Amino acid sequence: MSKYDVRIKQVFGANDGEVVLALLGEKVTEWAGENLLRGDPRFADFLAYVQTGGLLHIEFQSTSPANMPWRMLNYRTAIFYREKRWKVPEPPIRQIVICFCKKSEVEGPKLKGKKLAYDYEEFTIQRLTRGHEFDLAAHSFDLNLLILLGQETTNYRDWSALCKAACKTRDIMERSDRVIMIETLFQLREKSDFVKRELRKLPLELSVRDTTYGKEIYDDAYGDGFDDGGKRQLIKIVSRYIVSQNVPALALEEVKRLNVHQLESLEEALATGLLFLEAVEEVRLGDSFSI
């Protein structure tokens, strides 16, 4: 299972299938579980019972391989066996392949032989998200991310806005997960470090260890010992924030007097949008900050 599969499955499964309803018009009522226990491969990317009474099966692909029709038929067979043990009637199963690639790379969802005819639906993410506009106020993070993945041309301003929104998420684990998601899935569009550069401009909570940016910070910090290296990196991050927000230069001198734990608390507070001077005062007086 690739790193893209894991993240895309997470987006489609979030918020009770909100993305599935928005893009495919199917209301998820219960998760069916992906383990089919039969056939090869054994696990479906996405499988759920829907309001119409049938099942919705989705596979996510970064390419469109020639053997995909056979794989989808294999999935259908495994689902039929698990659900009905071959007893008719076959449960209604809607099967879809969503390709995160260019339209010209899609092979097409048909399988025909002398005594065999089988079909399913196949969409590129560009076609699936057509008509949906990127809007931080109107849509969830997950839906906005898919809309950006489906844009015909990369809108760097929108990707930057999504990065900033993700970094302002108050919950540490959710913020970390969103940042990792953006950094990973952006590579489905193009192999560049644009997102990484955008994250460098923002104050980030340092538990975002799995991003390439986070790894650089930790490697640098621990190379000189946590206290010295960690403090230097934290000051660097907070300094960028000071410059970007036109905070008086005197503030940096205040920051340099804080210890490592105070700096961590300050950086955490800034990542959630607190006013700089207020955050510094709270951290300086209380030696810690809790949101």
| Predicted confidence (pLDDT) at residue 211 exceeds the cutoff of 60 | yes
Q: How do residues 20-67 score in pLDDT, each as one tens digit?
A: 999 999 999 998 877 765 556 568 899 999 998 899 999 998 887 888
- The rounded mean pLDDT for the chain is 78
Picking from 258, 252, 261, the residue whose alpha carbon sits closest to that of residue 290 is: 261
Please write the tens of the pLDDT for every residue from 231-262. 777 777 677 666 666 666 666 777 777 777 77
Q: Are 287 and 263 in contact (CB under 8 A)?
A: no
Higher-confidence residue of 262 and 223: namely 262
Convert the pLDDT of each residue in 127-176 to its tens digit: 999 999 999 999 999 999 999 999 989 999 999 999 988 887 877 778 88
Q: Label the pairing between strands 121-124 and 55-61.
A: unpaired
Residue with tokens 């489905």: 188
What average pLDDT score do residues 110-125 get? 76
Strands (E), 62-203: 93-99, 110-113, 116-119, 121-124
**Residues 127/137, Cβ–Cβ less than 8 Å:** no
Distances (CA, A) of 143 to 136, 162, 246: 10, 11, 33
